[in-house]
A and B are shown apart, each in its own frame.
Chain A
Amino acid sequence: MRGTGTARTVGAVDAATVILVLVVVVALAFDFTNGFHDTANAMATSIATHALPPKAAVTLSAVLNLVGAFLSVEVALTVTNAVVRIQQADGAPSPDLVQDGGEALLLIVLTGLVGAIVWNLLTWLLGLPSSSSHALFGGLIGATVAGLGWGAVHWAGDGGEPDGILGKVVVPAVASPVVAGVVAATGTWFVYRITVGVAARYTERGFRWGQIGSASLVSLAHGTNDAQKTMGVITLALIASGHWTSTTAIPVWVKVCCALAIALGTYLGGWRIIRTLGKGLIDIAPPQGMAAETASAATILVSSHLGLPLSTTQVTTGSVLGAGVGRPGATVRWRVAGRMGVAWLITMPAAGLVGAATWFLAHLLGGGVLGAVAVVLVLVALSGVMYVRSRRDAVHAGNVNDEWQEPARQRRPAAAGGVR
């Protein structure tokens, strides 16, 4: 640490350090919302079919996310390179952004994270599963455009590896639900055909174990993929402010904090999203649950193995829809699916707008500590409003499996205190 010096340098160092601390705290908050948002991906189907009691499901998922986060020693330092140009190819921050103690870069990262968190919380409030990675990318793009202009946006790769917004966001977003849906529909259709005539008592117990196994695999894969992103963002901020130099390693405390944040978020569980995914799209039965989670696990693992990582959230949603299509006679609530589709489309622009707006706010206030603190206060205020709003029709482990009602009808009794 560069502690001692003249009063003036102490002041300058402190400004960057204060912003850095804010970035780290906000990044961990994002990691938390990431876990919280994505519990549903692994566990919604197991909870809906009663394969696992709600609390046991989120605990299992949290533990596996924690394990997964520690399993990855790979350094995801270049995470922002997918969509914006604020880093060099090796992960080091762009030199022109790290003069004056890295404040310019820290501010972009901070406001980008704020955009991502606000959107994650809003979609949670609406009970919509949306991709946390897209929210993070959207926020970073918005903040980067505000700070550096459109030229700093990385639109597409050079034809080699899939890269840029096109290769890392657009193509995966369109493909994820389709691929996962086809796989899940095929699996579901076969499973029902194969087990025709087997007594229900026999299939229920078997599929219960199949579901728990496949859901665990999704949780583990999630921990290895998603916690890394926040680790990369925090390490980037540490390098920018001169507190870390290696681009091939991540500080141990960053890894521990990120793993704990995502696991805690997963454990608290975004019950509203679990409800939509488990009860809203289809009335899911154990064979469908198993087929859906296996399809999700396979698609997530295969796609990241082959170098075209698909979004966990969109894969899971596609799988659940596919499981509905594949079961003869099942109904799929396409209106709910449509609402999710809309949320996916506007995730990036919406998070980007918040990122850009908060960047301008910080910029107006001089861009230093004052700006950063103001941005964080805005985040706290918005989060508080959304939390309070969520209490009006709280969803929790006790009512997550209640019969699904269309939201339009759900709202009226809620005003009269009819819905728990």
Chain B
Amino acid sequence: MLATETGMLGQVLLVSLVLGAGLPVLFGLGLRAMAWGAGGDAEEHPAGVAPRPHPLGRALGVLCFALAAAGVVLGITVVVASGLGYEVGLGGGPLFVEKS
């Protein structure tokens, strides 16, 4: 009787961990990259030698933020679609599947 629930919980934990911890990690990496990209006082540094700005850092930062934003958009899509009676299929098939 509890086997179904336990199995589902394992799935819930795994997927939640990937999304719920993954997005903050992406966001943190984005901030880190932006700070590296900005140079100067954005990062802690020894007195007197301000780090140079790195354009690559900005690019990486923007990429991380874009990925994180995409995650949020995916979340909203799931909410809206399931509200309208569709499931979002991420297994390679059609994106929106009508719920059975």
Contacts and interface: CB of A to CB of B under 8 A. Distances in A.
Tell whether A pairs with B: yes
Interface of A: 68, 71-74, 156-157, 159-162, 166-167, 171, 175, 179-180, 182-184, 186-188, 190-191, 194-195, 197-199, 201-203, 206-207, 210, 213-214, 217, 220-221, 224, 287, 290-291, 294-299, 301-308, 310
Interface of B: 1-5, 8-9, 11-13, 15-17, 19-21, 23-25, 27-32, 34-35, 38, 41-44, 68, 72, 75-76, 78-80, 82-85, 87-88
B26 to A, nearest CB: 10
Contacts of B88: 305
B72 A166 contact: no
A175 B9 contact: yes
B8 A306 contact: yes
Given A157-B1, A183-B21, A306 B15 contact: yes
B24 A303 contact: no
Given A184-B20, A206-B27, A217-B76, A159 B5 contact: no
Nearest to B25: A190
B5 A294 contact: no
- Indicate the member of B21, B35, B38 with the most A CB atoms within 10 Å: B21
Contacts of A74: 82-83, 85
Contacts of A191: 24-25, 27-28
A207 B65 CA distance: 12
- Indicate the member of B32, B44, B75, B82 with the most A CB atoms within 10 Å: B75
B11 A306 contact: yes
Q: Interface majority SS on A: helix, strand, loop or mixed? A: helix
A116 to B, nearest CB: 24
A187 B82 contact: no
A87 B84 CA distance: 24
A101 B28 CA distance: 60
Contact of A290 (B24, B42, B43, B80): B24
B20 A187 contact: yes
A167 B72 contact: no
B42 A199 contact: yes
Contact of B4 (A160, A187, A301, A305): A160
B61 to A, nearest CB: 10
A189 to B, nearest CB: 9
Q: Interface majority SS on B: helix, strand, loop or mixed? A: helix
A301 B79 contact: yes
A306 B19 CA distance: 14
Given A71-B84, A199-B43, 7 more contacts: A171-B9, A191-B27, A194-B31, A198-B32, A214-B23, A221-B79, A308-B8
- Indicate the member of B13, B34, B79, B82 with the most A CB atoms within 10 Å: B79
Contacts of A303: 12, 16
Given A183-B16, A290-B24, A308 B5 contact: yes
Given A167-B5, A191-B27, A221-B79, A299 B20 contact: yes
B54 to A, nearest CB: 14
Nearest to B38: A202
A73 B24 CA distance: 31
A390 B35 CA distance: 47
B65 to A, nearest CB: 9
Contacts of B11: 306
A162 B72 contact: no
Contact of A220 (B17, B34, B76): B76
Contacts of A307: 8
B79 to A, nearest CB: 5
- Indicate the member of A201, A206, A221 with the most B CB atoms within 10 Å: A206
Given A191-B28, A210-B27, A72 B83 contact: yes
A299 B12 contact: yes
A171 B24 contact: no
Nearest to A210: B27
A224 B83 contact: yes
Given A171-B5, A171-B9, A203 B31 contact: yes
A195 B20 contact: no
Contacts of B23: 187, 214, 294, 298
Nearest to B99: A74
Question: Which 6 residue pairs of A and B lie closest in terms of their CB atoms, listed nearest first?
Answer: A298-B20, A71-B83, A194-B28, A187-B21, A72-B83, A183-B20
A294 B80 CA distance: 18
Nearest to A291: B24
B70 to A, nearest CB: 12
Given A295-B21, A298-B19, A301-B78, A306 B83 contact: no
